[in-house]
Structure 1
């Protein structure tokens, strides 16, 4: 092996050995729509962060919005102005006909340049399935190595298609050797990259992580303590021992950059006259009851309602605008 280039980036945003895949590049400016194809999954990973409301249930979400038809998916992508989409779950391949239909639909609607990547364990990734995904228009596939099947899936995808092929795994203290093994396997079987996601420490997986000796980082809520240090060890190893691209994605990036930028794009494209967009990408507005009629107003115009009790509400820029923070009542 030859010595790799230096590790580039910022621990708070991203660390890269080589370069990022396009699927990740589009996330930074909020140009990737997130399509939750189904909550059905053939595996049950102890570190899975998927909520109980979704895991194991056949539901479809687009950018945190539950939908009942695939047409709603395209409408949401148009509302966002996205240039690509990630297909996730659960495992999208448990609903293969639906996944195939979504890929074809997005390519037909938004063109060949619309970038699509997909996450799967590889359990259901037969040669026929992989070739069908590629012919439908899938650009990039990311395997999660739960079972040994993922190795053959990487090999099939690399040999039979022109998709970008790699793996994506969580990283935390104690998982360094596993990550190194995955990097070796991906390179051996023809893949091109491995993404390391900082282990999220959230309600669905907290008990399982604690039982394995992991704790939440009090300085960085919702992350497993020691994850960044573990990622650095793996990157330093890969710099000297691997020739594929390695990307570390901190959990803080997803909230402070990826999700925020996506929400800001959505909010700007769908801002209602009475709303203000916050620096976090949420929208806020005021409500006042006058003669049993609810009147919405821009918070900047609060002084127009002196003498009334007004409510200030906040929501993600979803179509439903369901408030995410307890409403605040203010007497003016």
Structure 2
């Protein structure tokens, strides 16, 4: 089972839960990536930021709102002693289910895939996920059931993203985070998306805030091609895809008001370059997969890097985007630099 994720939450009496839920949705302050909790008297709504609605706010553990797949577990034909090992959730990207299968169940991959297809009619392909590898952050995937096709169109918050999961990285679990960042952007900002992939951060921002100028950089030529397709698909303007090594490209761009750094296994090695690409004052949205202890150490290392360049920085917010493994989380740091 996935480990819990800590989040701020608002504590609401059950009788008032539905009205408060609607308010939180209207204010875009309800975390949809986490499951609302309850006890005998109260409802606990996970939220992005503290707010005063007249109720208590505290931090507590929540379960991630993955796709619950008990129905596939009900229909699968597998030895009874192996049932406790079956994954309890999977990701859906468009019409493709992406599931991590434990080693002890590898021989039953086809049965798992076919059961998912049977229990989830909109899904047309099931792939096993062996992790992200290589310079271009590609998933090592294998089709285990359904159509032999890894290309799909994924929809989130009214946007559409075309992607071949075998050729470019895309995670549906970052949808809420992309929305959160887009809501922080102000009109007229110049933004650099340093590891843009097929463009979900950039396009989400461009669709929600205008006018802005966004430059998305990625070394993966297929990702940039898909990014260009997605710009047309979503009818956005002022977004410029750039294919190449980000270290070579930053110096040719105008200094940015805001930089997005979602390269979670390697972000720190590019942080100094990001600081050099900022205006005198700016914001960096920095992402990294770390243990909780390593996250505290990383705060000090980020500050030291900024000081060495003669910059001041303040971490305005640090939050867990998602649980990555039993010991590691995908952390987000909102860093204010001056």
TM-score by length of 1: 0.29
TM-score by length of 2: 0.29
